[in-house]
Structure 1
Amino acid sequence: MGSAWSPSGLRKVLRELGCPESIDLEDRRVIVWREAGSEIWPDRAWRRRTATALMMAGLILSMVLLTVVGTPDAMGALTFAQRMTGFLFILSGAVQGLAALAALDYEGKRQFKYSGAVVLVGALIALITESILLFTWLQEREPTFYFPAYLLLFAWSLWALWRLIQGHVWRAIPHPKRFATGVALSGILASTNFAYSAVYQPTSAPFYVTLTAKFGTPHTDPTRPFIHVPMTFQVENTGKVPAYILVDKYLVYGRSAEYSNDDEGLRDWKNALEGGYDAELHVTESGSKTISAGQFAGPGYWLHPGEGHVKEKVIQIPRSVEYDLLEATLAVVAMRMDRGKIDLLQLQRAHPSWQKKEGRFYCAKCSDMLIHEGKVRHNNNIINVTRRPRYVTVLWYGNQEKFGYEYAISSYKFNPRKRPDVGEIAREEDRYGVESRSTSTKVSVAALMASL
């Protein structure tokens, strides 16, 4: 007919049944007590209210965490699987919001028959999701802002399940075996979807960036002693996923060689290979000089599949040039966009190291260089909440003899007194799908002169 936790609650039930308000609870003629007397009641108000508060607080905190984790993926992920993972987390958070309301009924009057089952579902969701977060965190064990939250929620979920099992909540479930099977399958589905969206899919899609560099037909300057040599550089995304360009460069060299008639060129092949140049039979010594250098597109440019970018330049060399060969190289470092998202406004801004107004980018002892830095987030937000923030750092430096760059994706924020961890850089390059591409082409100066 009803349930009561205290004498006042019992009197309320009896009033609803038509009994007088002044009924004597000790009158054995109208009331029969079984197993215990009227002086023993199961309710401990402070204990029940504390347990209710803890149960609801854990469910609400878990709801907030799952919503925070799932929203960026649901609204901004590039792939369908990653968006499904985000929506799955948001849906799980909504279920936990309902479970928090059900906990208020379950720990109170239990007017809703299945309130305990709803709370059980919420606790199981918390246990599964916090286990995934903890497992991901244990891979690298980095201190993060979210770590105390999912560690606390993992412990809370164990306590909540223990309390619910002690209360035999499954007795109210019509088909407990089917319920347990459904929860287990949901957990397996969530784990599989996470593995697919975070590991398999960003690896299986092909990623190709094709580079081209070629010389055009030269022309003489009618008034000045120059030869104008056209150059065409092209970068094309021939893969299936969009790509960021983290850093790039083009270089044009002029090579001068000393020739030998006694075939001494191959005798010094060891030094040639160590120096990274060719060992040639009739060339005893060769040197190169940089004629032109620069950036192709610059950090923060991106290419969608099938999209290309062309840059045309004109190289000016004197008519009395002493070079034997002209060599052009194009190098690009690209990152898969289905692995991460970069703050392009930050990355595209160049910070000259020689200007004091640049703050922490100023470096009096460093060689002159341009510094680019931008925050990068993984496209699976579970990775972001279990790791420290990651940054793309690009250093572009040069002088009259040499031009080059360095790059890194790591937790390192630029500081001239520190260096990033080499092992971490290698791991992050693999995680975000960073690849380097380069191409080169050569042309004989004699052939260019003959075509004028």
Structure 2
Amino acid sequence: MSLRPWVVVESPDSRGLRRVTVGGETVGSAWSPAALRKILKRLGYPEDMDLDDPASVSWRGGDSRTWPDRAWRRRSTMSLMMAGLLASMVFNAVIGWPDASGALTFAQRLTGVLFVLSGVVLGIAAIAALDYWGRRQFRASGAVTLLGAIIVLATDSLLLLLWFEEREYTRYLLVYLPALCWSVWAMCLLVRQKSWKGVPQPKKFAAGVVATALLTAVSLAYSTMYQPAAAPMHFILKAEFGKAWEDKKLPYVHVPLTLYMKNTGGIPVYIINDIYTVRGRVAVYSRGKGDLMPEWRESVERYGAREGEAELYVDQLEYTTISSGSFYEIGNSLDVGQEYALNRVFQIPRNVGYDTVSIDLQIAYMRKDRGKIDVQEFRSAHRSWNKHDRAYHCEPAVCGEQLIYRGRVRHNNNLINVTRKPRFVTAVWSPGDQFISSISSVPFNFYGLGDYSEERRELERYGAARARADAEISVAEILRSAGL
């Protein structure tokens, strides 16, 4: 029998774990006497072996009663650490996946991919936390857990900063605000324990963390600020009258009309509202008095003429709507380089009293690189005169007759969606003059009450704007082209 003990139990480490060696070789680690007996039994030692026999077991840094491990505390810390990492893993994946799979621009997709990858890292960090508060079989488990805590601290701090911009309550606030507090606790605990000590090359590890953070910051800045502002919007919008022809059976002249648009900019758009209106103008002609202003002022005040028109020899301008309609299906997109044309025919009597006929074409659009519309919901028209649709009903005596379209709009940067209340795009259409489009967090108000500053801010945020084209022709030219 050798004078050297076969079994050596080392001093407890900072967690209370004691390393066990036999013949100079490490055979395991034990938290308690029961765990030590399991190791010895596996090696062929008897179950009733006397642990206090110095001829069999050598104790260093204490005896057989020195087991400082507080299992409940260690397991509670490990469980809380893993719970925070796993919850943040799911949350980052929820944030990143919509952008990674469906964002329009490369920068936005890259941002989504980075969030999804950060979720993967958090999942690995949760497994590392299990090892770090366990037997520490992997040297880098503490550093990986620390990396996970840094990611949670960075992402949730960013979300909180974005939330402070509007300070709107969302259910996601109940996720990232507690997660931020958790990350502060985790960072303090891991830094106090110097969890990075097991990393073979800590400087390279730190450099990798910094590089990843910088890449994420640059990607976010590019996708949210520079890229949307740099891509220009351009449209070709035309409205033209064609050659008229006489109706041989009825006392009318048919006038063809061509409406055309093309997206010549760099970004696809949603058409959220459009209207074309054909109007006939009646005027009283005079020789003029040498001063344009009195005639224009009287025409505006007494006859409701357009404020933007003034003619010296024309007075008492009055306009009548002849035809009005929708040009493009509401909610449809218009991609880069895509064009669309519509041909229509309207009728005027041969002896019509108009002196000119004008066409006004307007479209309202929203950039697709800024947001995504729930098209199926948005295309459902609500009639304002329908008493059974209480959310959109308005008495015709007050509102006239209108079609209201409303649908959810989501920002293409999902970070915005999780820090804001839902936004909705609303379009109001009726023949002749009603052409309204808005984006807001509150329902559309028929009576003109609401926060217009918020509406303007949201229209700018989602890149919503209008384009217009018009044309005018004399009735004399129409009749001449018809051979009259």
Q: Which TM-score band applies after superposition, normalised by the shorter structure?
A: over 0.9
- Greater alpha carbon shift after TM alignment, 259-268 vs 103-112: 259-268
Aligned match of 1:330 = 361
1:432 positional shift: 0.8
Distance (whole Å) between structure 2 residues aligned to residue 214 and residue 416 of structure 1: 34
SS of corresponding position for 2:58: coil
What are the equivalent positions in structure 2 for 1:403-422 lying under 5 Å apart?
A: 403-414=433-444, 419-422=449-452
Q: Which sits farther off after the overlay, 424-433 or 200-209? A: 200-209
8 Å Cα contact 1:264/1:282 also seen in 2: no
The residue correspondences of 1:251-270 to structure 2 (distance < 5 A) are 251-264=277-290, 266-268=292-294, 269-270=296-297
CA distance in 1, matches of 2:256, 2:59: 106
After TM superposition, give the deviation of residue 209 of structure 1 in Å. Answer: 2.1
What's the offset of the Cα at 1:210?
Answer: 1.9
Residues in 2 aligned to 1:291 and 1:216: alpha-carbon distance in whole angstroms: 16
- Counting only pairs closer than 5 Å after superposition, residues 118-267 of structure 1 correspond to structure 2 as 118-264=144-290, 266-267=292-293
Alignment of 1:302-321 (within 5 A): 302-321=333-352
The AA in structure 1 aligned to 2:467 is: R
Q: TM-score, normalised by structure 1?
A: 0.93
In 1: Cα distance, 2:384 partner to 2:118 partner: 48
What do residues 273-298 of structure 1 show as CA deviations (whole Å, max 9, x unaligned)? 89423221212322111111111113
Identify the match of residue 385 of structure 2 among 354, 360, 365: 354
Superposition deviation, residue 14 in structure 1: 5.9
Select 1:379's aligned residue among 405, 412, 423: 412
Deviation at 1:323, TM superposition (A): 1.1
| Residue 428 (structure 1) aligned with residue 458 (structure 2) | yes
Who wins on radius of gyration, i.e. which is larger?
2
Residues 410 and 420 in structure 1, CA contact (< 8 A), matched pair in contact too: no
Shift in Å, 1:67: 0.9
Cα distance in 1, alignment partners of residues 335 and 222 from structure 2 = 23
Matched, 1:70 2:96: yes
Query: What's the counterpart of residue 283 of structure 1?
Result: 314
Residues 112 and 332 of structure 1, relative CA distance in 2, 3 Å threshold: same
Quick check: 1:450 aligned with 2:480?
yes
- Report the Cα distance in structure 1 between the residues aligned to 2:273 and 2:288, rounded to whole angstroms: 44
Distance 1:80 1:155 in 2: 33
1:437 aligns with: 467
How far did 1:244 drift?
Answer: 0.6
Q: Tell me the CA shift for residue 12 of structure 1.
A: 4.8
Distance in structure 2 (CA, Å) of the matches to 1:273 and 1:18:
108
Q: Which amino acid aligns with 2:195?
A: V
Cα distance per residue 1:233-269 (max 9 Å; x no partner): 1121111111110001111111112122143560324
Distance 2:263 2:166 in 1: 33
Note the C-alpha offset of 1:40: 4.2
Structure 1 SS opposite 2:30: coil
* Distance in 2 (alpha carbons) for counterparts of 1:342 and 1:4: 59
Counterpart code for 1:391: F
CA contact (8 A) 1:170 1:176 kept: yes
Aligned to 1:85: 111
Cα distance in 1 between the residues matched to 2:137 and 2:93: 29
Q: Report the identity percentage.
A: 46
Equivalent pair of 1:360/1:414 in contact (CA under 8 Å) = no
Which of 49, 62, 86 is matched with 1:60 structurally?
86
Written as runs of structure 1 = structure 2, the 5 A alignment for 1:108-127 is 108-127=134-153
Root-mean-square deviation (CA, aligned residues, Å) is 2.3
Q: Which runs of 5+ in 2 are unaligned?
A: 1-25
Deviations 1:108-140 (A, max 9, x none): 111222211221111111111112211211111
State the distance in 1 between where 2:134 and 2:339 align.
Answer: 65
Aligned to 2:14: none
CA contact (8 A) 1:230 1:313 kept: yes
Q: Measure, in 2, the Cα distance between the counterparts of 1:162 and 1:42.
A: 23
In 2, distance between residues paired with 1:270 and 1:363?
Answer: 35
Unaligned runs of 5+ in 1: none
- Structure 2 CA distance for aligned equivalents of residues 341 and 29 of structure 1: 73
CA contact (8 A) 2:143 2:197 kept: no
- Distance in 2 separating the partners of 1:417 and 1:177: 64
Offset of 1:393 from its aligned partner?
A: 0.8
Distance 1:26 1:54 in 2: 40
Tell me the distance in 1 between the aligned counterparts of 2:204 and 2:29. 29
Pair 1:273–1:240, CA change in 2 (3 A): farther
Read off the aligned partner of 1:382 and give its amino acid letter. L
User: For residue 342 of structure 1, what is the aligned residue in structure 2?
Assistant: 373
Distance 1:165 1:256, change over 3 A: same
| Conservation of the 8 A alpha-carbon contact between 1:265 and 1:283 | no
Query: Matched residues in 2 for 1:265 and 1:439: separation?
Result: 30
Are residue 97 (structure 1) and residue 123 (structure 2) matched?
A: yes
Name the aligned partner's letter for residue 208 of structure 2.
G
Given the superposition, is the C-alpha separation of residues 418 and 207 from structure 1 closer, same or farther in structure 2, using an over 3 Å criterion? closer
